[in-house]
Structure 1
């Protein structure tokens, strides 16, 4: 009986602690309750030295910030694997009712006697030679972005989603085309761009595991998870984007100098980090990326560091947990992540009903990254006053807040395409 009472008491204690934890994560949506904070100056080092010009930024400011985000937020990533190969597994010159070319590529990575495959889907415009492309991950498989029945269905683990026909963590034909609304493929093709997409779960399944996906290929003997300063899932996904970029540099149908990396939500965080680490990406688009993406962490508005680390402990490196409920101690914030992309174009997008992602915090990040862009003579966000709904700012640092919620809409793609045409032409 004593043992039973102890078990019941222990269970009661755990439930109470969990309830208190959840209570601590009640989001703040009241601007008057945003704590007062001093935003770090991207043109000042942690020791207070002033960054006055491009050489100062490139030799001092940028390396310091890149090291901070690497060691304390996203985690170190390895370089290229010891072996990487590509195989064209399917193609057609008459895809999407004959308006595009389709290519499906299997990439294979090998390291330490282990291997991992992933599949790249490409739709390219006809008759323009090497095409600029948008590169982005999808959430439920390449077959979900189109109704094209020729597109491969991934075998990798997936989050369940009954409305998409995903059960037992397996993707099937039932989910074909369920996300066509998020990918304006015909508009992209009509504008002279290509689309390159990959299922993010093939690089690293989105669960707190670290025993599948890319991580185990790089483990040392006996290692079961990344070290505290090593890559979480976001860094793993960013690593995968760089490996796709490796392939695109060799693909004669692609203008590898005009690859725009794009992501939504957690994959918007990934796009920003990939763009910061890998300067081969010509431009970066972050759609509704929120906490750990474009939104300022110190505002503690909507999703916070503690909330994201508690519910998605695998996304960031374990050192990032130091800042849970401790945003005041951050020596850098997300505007400086955006600054790391300079002088390349970057587009930050929000949605008015997506308060969880803190639209104002996303906008302010874009605004406060501007001084670094100005070192290069690039135009950023001219004022700290947010624009009106559906009134985009199309500068090298671009921003819009649209009507609606957490999603990728046709309106978003229209802005990205229009902006990319101008910015990549200028490049």
Structure 2
């Protein structure tokens, strides 16, 4: 057999069979712990930077919220910027949200700014300025710049192409050669941003959630599995199966984690968040996270949440749209469960 199509399919089916065998032979809690450990090992570990002091870069008064920009660091030798949005009229400690953007020009794309930092007065793109939508609902929001996008593109890539869309390929391949992954770095830095958000006097650290879109949802689910301070989560434009999405459609290399499918398919990995509240959102015409994969993931997650006795904590919204955020239900759901 010269072509490997059916051979790859068989490898996938063999992996699923192994997952089922393991699930049947292990107690559910034991399997959850093993999968959590496996996920951590697959994405790689990073050294903490406990001695770093955050730096305030700017503070801007907007109509009904304050926008700050801070410099943070989660691992030695590497820093990143994050926007913090705070409602002006809030009283008492606020619920907090870690907002994670997907492919695009960085955190500015979700806080209502253009790539140069000026206000974006145009119709919002696929990210829908979702961090602004959250702060307008009375939540404190932190939106970190994800490694490889916007101002965090590598100089090596910009030297070759000043308009390089991102640095995902170079970061992913070099980290994999070092036994780490870009997902692992991004999730580690997201947790560092969470550290800072939880330390703010305006925020109730017991009521912190996360919302991610596309690649940001990948980061959000990994961070939530690893960090139970995230009490509720919204995943947009991402929930699916590996088989229907990254195996069937050409994706950025940052979606692939070596060895991960040996342990579980994506719905079971997302299900490690259970029984914490989880909202899944997807467009009916999303070309890279197709609707059939979304529906399969939802069915599997419904079984997981029912087994956990938390059926009512899983909510979904399949809206008429493409690869984009809707938020028509998700924003208010997140505000409700964190309140």
For normalisation by structure 2, the TM-score amounts to: 0.78
User: CA shift at 1:83, angstroms?
Assistant: 3.2
Other-structure match for 2:53:
85
Other-structure match for 1:275:
224
Give, in whole Å, the separation in 1 of the partners of 2:212 and 2:170. 23
Is 1:400 the counterpart of 2:317? The answer is yes
Give, in whole Å, the separation in 2 of the partners of 1:71 and 1:400. 32
Q: What aligned pairs does 1:20-419 form with structure 2 within 5 A after superposition?
A: 46=22, 48-51=24-27, 57=29, 60-72=30-42, 75-92=43-60, 95-97=61-63, 99-109=64-74, 111=76, 115-125=77-87, 126-138=89-101, 139-146=104-111, 171-172=115-116, 176=120, 180-181=124-125, 182-184=128-130, 187-200=133-146, 201=149, 206-210=167-171, 225-227=174-176, 230-289=179-238, 294-297=239-242, 300-304=243-247, 307-308=250-251, 312-319=252-259, 330-379=262-311, 395-409=312-326, 412=327, 414-419=328-333
Give, in whole Å, the separation in 1 of the partners of 2:17 and 2:210. 27
User: CA shift at 1:282, angstroms?
Assistant: 1.3
Give, in whole Å, the separation in 2 of the partners of 1:83 and 1:178. 41
Give, in whole Å, the separation in 1 of the partners of 2:23 and 2:136. 50
RMSD: 3.5
- Tell me the matched-pair count: 312
Answer yes or no: is the 8 Å Cα contact 1:70–1:229 preserved in 2: no
Which secondary structure does the structure 2 equivalent of 1:101 belong to?
Answer: strand
Which secondary structure does the structure 1 equivalent of 2:78 belong to?
Answer: strand
Q: Aligned pair in 2 of structure 1 residues 277, 140: CA closer, same or farther (>3 Å)?
A: same
Residues 152-171 of structure 1: CA distance to partner in whole angstroms, max 9, x if unpaired? xxxxxxxxxxxx8xxxxxx5
Q: Aligned pair in 2 of structure 1 residues 87, 40: CA closer, same or farther (>3 Å)?
A: farther
Indicate the structure (1 or 2) with the bigger Cα radius of gyration: 1
Which secondary structure does the structure 2 equivalent of 1:340 belong to?
Answer: helix
For normalisation by structure 1, the TM-score amounts to: 0.63
Moved more, 99-108 or 135-144: 135-144
Which runs of 5 or more residues in structure 1 are unaligned?
Answer: 1-19, 25-34, 149-163, 165-170, 216-223, 324-329, 380-394
Which runs of 5 or more residues in structure 2 are unaligned?
Answer: 6-11, 154-165
